[in-house]
A and B are shown apart, each in its own frame.
Chain A
Amino acid sequence: MNINMTLIGQTIAFAIFVWFCIKYVWPPISNALHERQKKIADGLDAASRATRDLELAQERAEQTLRESKEQASQILEQANKRSAQMIEEAREQARAEGERLVAGARAEIEQEINRAKDELRAQVSHLAIVGAERVLEASVDEKAHRDLLNKLAAEL
Chain B
Amino acid sequence: MAADNEVSAIYYIQHHLQNLTFGKHPENGWSIASTSTEATEMGFWAIHLDTMGWSIAMGALFLWLFRKAGKAATTGVPSGLQNAVEMVIEFIENLTRSTFHGKNKHIGPIALTLFMWILLMNSLKLVPVDYFPQLFGKLGFEYMKIVPTTDINATLGMAIGVFLMIIYYSCKVKGVAGFGKELALTPFNTWLLAPFNLILEIVGLLVKPISLGFRLFGAMFAGEVIFILIALLPFWAIWMLDVPWAIFHILVISLQAFIFTTLSVVYLSAAHEHH
A-side residues, CB < 8 A to B, are 1-11, 13-15, 17-18, 20-22, 24-33, 35-36, 39
| List of 6 A-B pairs having minimum Cβ-Cβ separation, nearest first | A10-B157, A6-B153, A28-B70, A32-B73, A26-B109, A14-B161
* B residues near A33, Cβ cutoff 8 Å: 86, 89-90, 93
Among the 9-residue stretches B41-49, B136-144, B175-183, B190-198, the one with 4 or more Cβ atoms under 8 Å from chain A is: B41-49
Q: Do residues A20 and B63 form an inter-chain contact, with CB atoms below 8 A? A: yes
- Dominant SS at the B interface? helix
A41 and B69 alpha carbons, distance in the complex (Å) = 23
B68's closest neighbor in chain A, by CB? Answer: A25
* A residues near B73, Cβ cutoff 8 Å: 28-29, 31-32
* B residues near A31, Cβ cutoff 8 Å: 73
Given contacts A2-B46, A24-B67, contact A7 B112 (CB under 8 A): no
* A residues near B161, Cβ cutoff 8 Å: 10-11, 14-15, 18
Greatest chain A CB density within 10 A among B42, B45, B62, B73 is at B73
* A residues near B75, Cβ cutoff 8 Å: 32, 35-36, 39
The one of B40, B82, B154 in contact with A10, judged by C-beta atoms closer than 8 angstroms, is: B154
Given contacts A17-B59, A21-B109, contact A10 B85 (CB under 8 A): no
In this assembly, does B269 line the interface, its C-beta being within 8 Å of a C-beta of chain A? no
A25 and B68 alpha carbons, distance in the complex (Å) = 9
Given contacts A6-B154, A10-B158, A11-B158, contact A26 B46 (CB under 8 A): no
B-side residues, CB < 8 A to A, are 17, 19, 21, 23, 39-40, 42-48, 51-52, 55-56, 59, 62-63, 66-67, 69-71, 73-76, 78, 82, 85-86, 89-90, 93, 106, 108-110, 112-113, 117, 148, 151-154, 156-158, 160-161, 164
A10's closest neighbor in chain B, by CB? Answer: B157
Q: Do residues B117 and A29 form an inter-chain contact, with CB atoms below 8 A? A: no
Given contacts A10-B153, A36-B75, contact A4 B45 (CB under 8 A): yes
* B residues near A27, Cβ cutoff 8 Å: 70
Q: Do residues A22 and B109 form an inter-chain contact, with CB atoms below 8 A? A: yes
In angstroms, how far is the closest chain B Cβ from the Cβ of A143?
135
Greatest chain B CB density within 10 A among A5, A20, A27, A33 is at A5
Q: Do residues A22 and B106 form an inter-chain contact, with CB atoms below 8 A? A: yes
Given contacts A4-B45, A32-B74, contact A11 B109 (CB under 8 A): no
Q: Do residues B74 and A1 form an inter-chain contact, with CB atoms below 8 A? A: no
In angstroms, how far is the closest chain A Cβ from the Cβ of B255?
20
The one of A1, A9, A14, A39 in contact with B47, judged by C-beta atoms closer than 8 angstroms, is: A9
Given contacts A4-B23, A4-B43, contact A9 B52 (CB under 8 A): yes
